[in-house]
Amino acid sequence: MTAKRTDVIVPSLVYRLLHTMPANKPSLRRAGAHIQKGGHRLPAFAARLVQELTLFIYPPTCAGCGQPLHSDRSGPFCPGCLRTLELISEPYCPVCGVPYATEIPNAHLCGDCLAGIHYFDRARSTGSYRGALREVLHRFKYGGRTSLARPLAQMLTAPGKHLARLHKIDRIIPVPLHPKRLRQRGFNQASLLARRLGSALKISVDYASLQRSRWTEPQTGLSRRQRAANVKGAFSLKSNEKVKGKGILVVDDVLTTGETVNQCVRVLKKDGEAREVAVLTVARTVAE
Ligand SMILES: [Zn+2]
Ligand SMILES: [Zn+2]
């Protein structure tokens, strides 16, 4: 059974997309729709001209601050926001990826990993959950800017490739949302990222095996202990058929204390008998 796109509620997405279109230029909106519909009939130079004109009138905007990207159309960040990105690089804990403030030989595990609190084999995040990256993730998740899945998933490609090689990844599994949360939001941000990453890495995405079966209150503002108690037993497996003996990459947008993904991985390993499980997120909270 293919479970592709089951986590995306299409009508809500369409509503959100329409809602984010320029409201004061209905004629341009109609023109855009017309070009999209019949674009293949336009001569290449005319299509290019229309594209350039549209870019001139509506230059692409920075995913972080929303300012037009005059000089760099590739985006997703303007030079100002780009400077605020704190990409995570060595030195960091070789298991959970928590960055070290000072030079410590890379082989040293962090306190959490020494205490063995994680079920995953390795976790990586591309940047700190601050500045422009925090802004863009907020716009993506709470502002309904689903088009940001593309640039954000691009940030996951290189570390995803690395983890896929290290752990012989067979499947990507996005952290599932509870059906009630999915109805509220209209989409699962982790699924949108996983779908793009899956096609970039040519690894199949499994949206169906893992489910969020118990409703949990948002984790914001909870202590680590409270977070752990809050998500305990929140996930379960529909079936372990696609998980047993496999290398799994769990994908999410943000890693905070890691309790949510930790519970996912616990289920995948204990109930699903996954061979290895790695975790990849766009951002992670980092202690000041
Ligand atoms: Zn910006
Ligand atoms: Zn660690």
Per-residue pLDDT of the chain (288 residues; tens, 9 = 90+): 444 444 444 333 333 333 344 434 334 444 444 444 444 566 777 877 877 777 666 667 787 787 887 654 556 788 888 888 889 988 899 999 999 887 766 578 999 999 999 999 999 999 999 988 998 999 899 999 898 898 899 899 999 999 999 999 999 999 999 999 999 999 999 999 999 999 999 999 999 999 999 888 777 777 878 888 888 889 999 999 999 999 999 999 999 888 899 999 999 999 999 999 999 999 999 876
Q: Does 24 lie in the same domain as 142?
A: no
Q: Which ligand is nearest to the Cα of residue 135, counting in written order?
A: 1
Under a CB-based contact definition with an 8 Å cutoff, are residues 273 and 255 in contact? no
- Residue 48 inside a domain? The answer is yes
Beta pairing, strands 122-128 & 171-174: unpaired
Q: Which ligand is nearest to the Cα of residue 94, counting in written order?
A: 2
Q: What is the CATH number of the domain that holds 211?
A: 3.40.50
Q: Does 126 lie in the same domain as 36?
A: no
Q: Which ligand is nearest to the Cα of residue 122, counting in written order?
A: 2
Cα 127 from chain centre:
12
Q: How far is the CA of 98 from the centre of ligand 2 (A)?
A: 6
Sign of CA dihedral 28, 34, 36, 39: negative
- Residue 3 inside a domain? The answer is no
- Residue 202 inside a domain? The answer is yes
Q: Which ligand is nearest to the Cα of residue 76, counting in written order?
A: 1
Residues with CB under 5 A from ligand 2 (ion): 93, 95-96, 110, 113
Beta pairing, strands 204-205 & 171-174: parallel
Region of residue 75 (left: phi > 0; alpha: psi -120 to 50; beta: else): left
Q: What is the pTM of this model?
A: 0.77
CB atoms within 10 A of CB 284: 24
- Residue 257 inside a domain? The answer is yes
Domain that holds residue 31: 10-58
Number of folded domains in the chain? 2
